[in-house]
Structure 1
Amino acid sequence: MWFDSWSDIIRVLAVGTAAYATLVVTLRISGKRTLAKLNAFDLVVTVALGSTLATILLSSDVSFAEGVVALAVLAALQYVVAWVTTRRPGVRSAVTARPTLLVDNGIVLAGALARQRVAVAEVHQAIRAAGVGDVDAVAAVVLETDGSISVVATGKLGDGSALEDVDRPEESI
C-alpha cells in the first residue's frame, strides 16, 4: 500500500523521534563497549537494537514504553555480560572467541587460515598495512576476537607477553 493514513505518518514521526533519542541516550549510558568493534555477542546486541528500533517505529502493536523497556533490557544485558566477562575468564570464552595465531615467526599457518576462513591475501594486506614488506619480518599475525587482524613485527615483539592469550594451532608449536 502507498498510503494508509496521516495518523500513521504522524505516529512514525513522533515515536521515531522519541525512540531515536532514547536509543542515543541508552547507548551513551551503556558505554563505549556497546559501540566497539564487534565480536559475536556485540553483533547480536547491535542487530537486536536495530530490530527493536525498527519495530518501535513501524509496529503500532508495540507501545513506545514497551520499546523503551526492550532497548533498556538489551543495553543492560550487554552491560552485564561485558561486566561478567571481564571478571570470569570461563564466561568470556563462552561469549567471545579467542584470538588465533595466523603467522608465527614468518611462517604462514595454512591450517589456521583454513579453520578461520582467512585468505593468505588478507594476511598479506594486514602485513602491508602495518608497514611491513616481508612476511619473514613478522613475529606474529593474529586474528582478533572482533575479526580484525593484528600484526606484530619481529623488531616489536619484545617478550611476547601480548600474545599470551592467543590460540596457537598445533602446527606452530
Structure 2
Amino acid sequence: MILVMIRTLILFTLVVVALRIMGKRQIGKLQPYELVIIIMLAELASLPMADNRFPLVIGIIAIITLAFLEVLISYTLLKSQRLRGFICGGPSILIENGKVMEQELYKLRYNINDLLEQLRTKNFPDIADVEFAILETSGEISVIPKSQKRPINPADLNIPTDYEGIPISLIIDGYVIVHNLDKINLSEQWLSSELSKFGIHDLKQVLLASLDTQGNLFYQLKNQRA
C-alpha cells in the first residue's frame, strides 16, 4: 500500500511538472499534437500506478520524453510555418462576407446547427450580423461582426478616456501579497493603516483586498454576506 502511494505521488508530481513545462493552455485551446501528448501522459502515468510489476523508471522516462518532445515540437513550429501547417492545419472560413461557406462546412463535417451554436456562445444569435466566422486550428471560432453591428466604443465618438490598468491584489484569503505591495512601493503597515479606517484590525479576516489604478481600495471580509 505504501509503495503504491509513493509511486502515485512521484508520477503525479512528474505529470504536473510536465504539464507546467508544456505551458498554460486550456483543453479547448490545445493543438491536436498537444492533446495527443496529454492523453499519452495520462496513460503512461496510470500504468505504473495500477500495476506494481510495471517498472516505475520506464514510466518516468516515457513521461520526460513526451514532455521534451512537446517542447521540441513547439519551438520547431515557431520557426517553420510549413511544418506548423502540416501538424496543426490551418484556419477555415465558415462565413465569408456574410455568406455561409457550404462547401467548407461539408469538408469539415460541420453542420449548420454546430455553427449556430458556436455563434450563440460568442453572443451572435443572429447569423445575419456576422461578416466572417473562422474556425481556428484549436477548434475555437473567431467571429467578426458586420461593421454596422459592432458595439460603439469611445474612439468612435472621439471621447478621450483615462488609463485603466488592472487592480492589484493585496490580500487573498487573509494572506498579504507582499511582492505586489513592493511593486507599487507600498508597505504592509500602509495596508493595515488603510484597513483600520474601516474598522479592520486583523488582516487574516480579509477575504480579498485590491487596489485599482485610481488608488481606490476594495476589500471584502470573510463570511461577509450581502
- Structure 1 residue 89 displacement after superposition: 0.6
Determine if contact 2:93/2:132 at 8 Å carries over to the other structure. Answer: yes
Q: Within 5 A, what are the aligned runs for 1:1-173?
A: 9-32=1-24, 37-155=29-147
CA distance in 1, matches of 2:39, 2:77: 20
Cα separation, 2, equivalents of 1:61 and 1:95: 36
In 2, Cα distance between equivalents of 1:36 and 1:72: 24
Structure 1, unpaired ranges of 5+: 1-8, 157-173
Does the 8 A contact of 1:34 with 1:42 survive in 2? no
The structural deviation recorded for 1:34 is 8.8
Bigger relative contact order (CA 8 A; separation at least 6) = 1
- 8 A Cα contact 1:53 1:67, kept in partner: yes
Larger CA Rg, structure 1 vs 2: 2
Match of 2:196 in 1: none
Tell me the alpha carbon deviations over residues 87-120 of structure 1, each in whole angstroms, 9 at most, x when there is no partner.
1011101211111001112111111111111111
Is the 8 Å Cα contact of residues 28 and 139 (structure 2) preserved in structure 1?
A: no
Q: Count how many residue pairs are aligned between Structure 1 and Structure 2.
A: 148
TM-score (norm 2): 0.60
How far did residue 33 of structure 1 move? 5.0
User: Relative to structure 2, which stretch is displaced further, 134-143 or 115-124?
Assistant: 134-143
Moved more, 99-108 or 119-128: 119-128
**How well do the aligned residues superpose, as a CA RMSD in angstroms?**
1.9
Aligned to 2:177: none
**CA–CA distance in 2 between the matches of 1:124 and 1:36?**
18
Q: Greater shift after overlay, 126-135 or 81-90?
A: 126-135
Partner amino acid for 1:67?
G
